[in-house]
């Protein structure tokens, strides 16, 4: 990655523009959309989608109650009103059967999110959107490569967007992509970014170094031999405070302005490199997840998310539901598994969104019971079996 990054840095302006266009074209082809526009982040992608669709103050947007808080921050910072809809605990996604009751004359948009890489009930949502004349924005930030009815997610809505952050299955040191079949909307998004400033190459290089460090310390051999023994020395309560460096913060108007930067050729070069191997790596992740599903089904230790018959989840995160999560985490940690509750929560019940409060009990349950279990392509089957065994063991010790 470092070689590709540095090689791209020395290209001419025209060559750099060609690198970005090449990535956009290949990505559009991969998703099955006519147009793709690279952007600086998933957050600014949502802002651009809403702006391109002429979202106005006091318009309502139907959103899942269980989602990344920054998504709702973007909505609120634009003067829009989020209307929370509870989730289906079987898959963690917005419950399509509960959407209709949330729609009124001010509702203009639906944010169709695929949580943890698991496609939601797409056709039902599209049916409701058509019935009530709502524009669908597809949040595929966690679902690059996931499929629904043999089509890639992201291309079902009027606009769809992806995120290429450090924890995503395509990591371009930040960044994202907006896809659409509407040429006018694609051009409008490009026009909206004309005054955006380029991100600092120095900042981007430091992101590259940080990503490289993360890749090294999370490698199974390194983590087991070096990182985990050190973590065991640290008191558990202290470790809990520092264990999630990716915890999100609230996005206000000032922060939104800071997000208005351009996607760089160095990022596009990294993206194209990874896109070519994406399906292969996603398949490995799916195979690990299915093995975990099979092993955990042997016990009542956890509730496992289900895929719809016509869907293929990429399992960007493997999340289970457990009672007494903190006790469970402690026992897992003692046995060598660093599990966490992640950074997604029930936005419908968060204090910062109290103005838009809506009773969503399933979202609250998932917020209190979710547990992220390590899963990534580099893990061997033997390591997956060990994780499953330790989860069952931990369950027996509670």
Span 324-336, pLDDT tens digits: 888 888 888 877 7
pLDDT higher than threshold 70 for residue 397: no
Of 82 and 2, which is predicted with more confidence? 82
pLDDT at 253: 58
DSSP E strands: which ranges in the chain?
35-39, 60-64, 66-67, 81-85, 107-113, 135-139, 147-148, 151-152, 159-163, 176-180, 197-198, 261-262, 303-304, 311-312, 318-321, 345-346, 370-373
Q: In 3D, which of 86, 74, 73, 59 has the Cα closest to residue 348?
A: 86
| pLDDT of 39 over the 80 cut | yes
Quick one: pLDDT at residue 208? Answer: 84
pLDDT, tens digit, 9 for 90 and up, residues 84-138: 999 999 999 999 999 999 999 999 999 999 999 999 999 999 999 999 999 999 9
| pTM score over 0.75 | yes
- Tell me what pLDDT residue 199 has: 80
Of 60-69, 213-222, 288-297, least confident by mean pLDDT is 213-222
**Using 50, 70 and 90 to split pLDDT, how confident is the model at 242?**
low
Q: What are the structural domains, with CATH classification, of the chain?
A: 2-198 (3.40.640.10)
- Inter-residue contact 292 to 384 (CB < 8 Å): yes
Instruction: Give the pLDDT of residue 176.
Output: 97
Q: Which of 31, 69, 73, 27 is nearest to 50 (CA)?
A: 73
pLDDT band, residue 249 (cuts 50/70/90): low
pLDDT over 60 at 244, yes or no: no
Instruction: Look at 199 and 138; give whichever has higher pLDDT.
Output: 138
Q: How many other C-beta atoms can be found within 10 angstroms of the C-beta atom of residue 39? A: 32
Average per-residue pLDDT in the chain? 89
Query: What is residue 45's three-state secondary structure?
Result: helix
């Amino acid at each position: 990655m470092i070689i590709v990054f540095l090689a791209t840095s020395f290209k001419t302006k025209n060559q750099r523009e060609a690198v970005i266009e090449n990535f956009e074209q290949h990505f559009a082809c991969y998703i099955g959309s006519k147009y793709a526009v690279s952007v600086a982040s998933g957050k600014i992608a949502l802002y651009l989608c809403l702006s391109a669709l002429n979202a106005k103050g006091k318009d309502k947007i139907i959103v899942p109650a269980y989602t990344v808080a920054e998504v709702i921050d973007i909505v609120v910072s634009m003067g829009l009103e989020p209307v929370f809809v509870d989730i289906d605990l079987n898959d963690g996604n917005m419950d399509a059967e509960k959407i209709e009751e949330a729609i009124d004359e001010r509702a203009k948009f639906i944010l169709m999110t695929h949580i943890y890489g698991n496609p939601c009930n797409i056709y039902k949502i599209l049916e409701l959107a058509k019935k009530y004349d709502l524009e669908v924005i597809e949040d595929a930030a966690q679902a690059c490569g996931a499929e629904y009815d043999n089509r890639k997610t992201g291309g079902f809505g009027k606009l769809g967007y992806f995120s290429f952050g450090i924890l995503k299955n395509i990591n371009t040191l930040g960044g994202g992509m907006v896809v659409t079949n509407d040429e006018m909307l694609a051009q409008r998004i490009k026009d909206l970014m004309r005054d955006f400033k380029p991100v600092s190459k120095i900042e981007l290089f430091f992101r590259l170094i940080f990503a490289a460090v993360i890749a090294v310390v999370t490698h199974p051999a390194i983590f087991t031999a070096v990182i985990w023994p050190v973590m065991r020395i640290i008191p558990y309560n202290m470790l809990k405070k520092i264990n999630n460096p990716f915890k999100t913060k609230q996005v206000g108007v000032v922060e939104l302005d800071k997000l208005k930067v351009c996607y760089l050729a160095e990022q596009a070069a990294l993206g194209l490199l990874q896109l070519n191997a994406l399906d292969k790596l996603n398949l490995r992740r799916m195979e690990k997840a299915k093995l975990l599903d099979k092993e955990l089904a042997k016990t009542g230790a956890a509730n496992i998310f289900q895929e719809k018959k016509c869907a293929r989840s990429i399992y960007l995160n493997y999340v289970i539901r457990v009672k007494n999560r903190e006790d469970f985490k402690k026992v897992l940690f003692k046995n060598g598994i660093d599990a966490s509750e992640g950074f997604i929560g029930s936005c419908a019940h968060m204090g910062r969104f109290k103005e838009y409060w809506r009773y969503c009990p399933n979202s609250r349950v998932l917020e209190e019971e979710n547990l992220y279990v390590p899963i990534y392509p580099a893990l061997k089957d033997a390591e997956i079996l060990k994780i499953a065994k330790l989860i069952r063991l931990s369950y027996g010790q509670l």
